[in-house]
Amino acid sequence: MSSQQNHKLCMIPGPVEFHEDVLTSMSTKATSHVSPSFIPVFGESIELLRKVFVTEQGQPIVVSGSGTLGWDMVASNLIEPGEDALVLNSGYFGDSFAACLKVYGAKVTEVKSEIGDRPTLQEISDALSTKSFKLITITHVDTSTGVLSDVKAISELVKKQSPNTLIIVDGVCSVGSEEIRVDEWNLDVVLTASQKALGVPPGLSILIVSERAIQTFKDRKSPIPSYYASWAHWLPIMNAYESRKGMYFATPPVQLIYALNTSLKQITSTPLETRFEQHKKVSDQIKSVVESLGLQFVPKSREVAANGMTAVYYPEGIQPADLLQKVASHNVVIAGGLHRAIATKYFRIGHMGISVTEPERKHIDNTITALTTSLKELGYSGN
């Protein structure tokens, strides 16, 4: 812990704080991506990802890139020009996923909720009944609003009403902090990135793809309109490393995969249920503090609020830059707003990964203290 003493805590919704062992494991000497020392590390990471996503059959794909590349992978491999996609929109990231799908020729229908809310099952059902959708996308946690979607319930609805529709989950801000079960919930693609609740520096795009999604990809009639993102290139690579053989398409980020391996071992060393409970508990703690300060959440209710982050409106009379700077002066970095319509009106706190699972680090306590002290110093006295 001491090696990180002199830095401001990074309590934003990703990148999150990184464990020392994760950081140390990255600083290897130059290592070939087909070296006998690296191949098993990559292979084991692929296996560990199945545990984290609670899947036996799902195919992990790990590629250099950020979470955004996951949208391009979904759109380029699964959508053929002119096909219909249904995007559930609970904020900024729904807008972006829709924009990405359109680039690859999808005809996008959106079910858009008001800021702070999520589409209702009735609205989703109504939309599903209008067309035969190739796929539906769900943003599990929209990081711009802190709104949590009920992926399990939506998946059950889709299975009943439109069983051929592929179920795609943007889990960039949820994998590792929210309950997610790929096989049990019948999900076809869950995409995420390294720097949020998985606790690894930015640079990895990570997906789990169902057998059904792979079949859909294999059955497509039109060529894949991407070179780098094509699963035709990546699936053989993943299969090779998992069977402990090196193979080349594009150089994997060797050091980041060492870091991923370390983090995944840490994550899977305790039951996932415990991890989800810890995130719930810490989220409740932070949200109770926010409430007791008389501040208002961006999510309409606690029921639709994420457990790995909290989005809060500034109180009357407090300027955005003032609060963020004040909190930083107490050595904690929190984030400003992201949703375009309200960007200057709210702030966001991330509470994921080791900040949650290792309370002895006091990240949460320090964040709460920095926030309450800063508000007081700016003259806010609550209600």
> Per CB under 6 A, which region of 168-176, 226-234, 245-253, 364-372 contacts ligand PLP?
168-176
If the CB atoms of residues 66 and 125 are measured against ligand PLP, the closer one turns out to be 66
Q: Does 203 bind ligand PLP (CB under 6 A)?
A: no
> Per CB under 6 A, which region of 53-61, 64-72, 117-125, 148-156 contacts ligand PLP?
64-72
Q: Does 133 bind ligand PLP (CB under 6 A)?
A: no
Q: Considering only CA atoms, which of 272, 292, 290 is closest in space to residue 357? A: 272
Helix (H, G, I), strand (E, B) or coil at 87: strand
- Shortest CB 257 distance to ligand PLP, Å: 16
Sign of torsion, CA 98 102 108 114? positive
Place of tokens 């209710």: 301
Question: Who contacts 29 (Cβ-Cβ below 8 Å, separation ≥6)?
Answer: none
Judged on CB neighbours under 10 Å (0-12, 13-18, 19+), 225 is: middle
Q: Does 95 bind ligand PLP (CB under 6 A)?
A: no
9-10 vs 332-333, strand pairing mode: parallel
Question: Who contacts 89 (Cβ-Cβ below 8 Å, separation ≥6)?
Answer: 95, 98, 110, 111, 112, 113, 119, 139
If the CB atoms of residues 128 and 168 are measured against ligand PLP, the closer one turns out to be 168
Amino acid at 85: A
One of 9, 10, 11, 14 touching ligand PLP (CB under 6 A): 14
Q: Does 372 bind ligand PLP (CB under 6 A)?
A: no
Amino acid at 297: F
Please indicate if the annotation marks 181 as binding a ligand: no
Q: Does 94 bind ligand PLP (CB under 6 A)?
A: no
Q: Does 63 bind ligand PLP (CB under 6 A)?
A: no
Place of tokens 């711009």: 144
Amino acid at 363: H
* CA 160/CA 374 separation, integer angstroms: 50
If the CB atoms of residues 170 and 179 are measured against ligand PLP, the closer one turns out to be 170
Query: Quick one: which H or E segment has residue 219?
Result: helix 211-219
Q: Does 173 bind ligand PLP (CB under 6 A)?
A: yes
If the CB atoms of residues 43 and 350 are measured against ligand PLP, the closer one turns out to be 350
Q: Does 353 bind ligand PLP (CB under 6 A)?
A: no
Q: Does 93 bind ligand PLP (CB under 6 A)?
A: yes
One of 87, 101, 124, 172 touching ligand PLP (CB under 6 A): 172
Maximum Cα interatomic distance, the chain, rounded to a whole number of Å: 63
> Per CB under 6 A, which region of 154-162, 169-177, 216-224, 299-307 contacts ligand PLP?
169-177
> Per CB under 6 A, which region of 81-89, 170-178, 208-216, 280-288 contacts ligand PLP?
170-178
Q: Does 68 bind ligand PLP (CB under 6 A)?
A: yes
Residues in the chain: 383
* CA 44/CA 41 separation, integer angstroms: 5
- Shortest CB 67 distance to ligand PLP, Å: 3
Q: What is the DSSP letter of 114?
A: P
If the CB atoms of residues 17 and 170 are measured against ligand PLP, the closer one turns out to be 170
Q: Does 149 bind ligand PLP (CB under 6 A)?
A: no
**Contact in structure between 91 and 139 (CB atoms under 8 Å):** yes
Q: Does 72 bind ligand PLP (CB under 6 A)?
A: no
Tell me how far CA of residue 62 lies from CA of 29, 46, 150, in angstroms. 22, 8, 26
If the CB atoms of residues 39 and 197 are measured against ligand PLP, the closer one turns out to be 197
Q: Does 66 bind ligand PLP (CB under 6 A)?
A: yes
In the complex, the residues that contact ligand PLP under the rule CB under 6 A are 14, 66-68, 93, 139, 142-143, 170, 172-173, 193
- Would you list which residues are annotated within the binding site for substrate? 348
Annotated binding-site residue numbers: 348
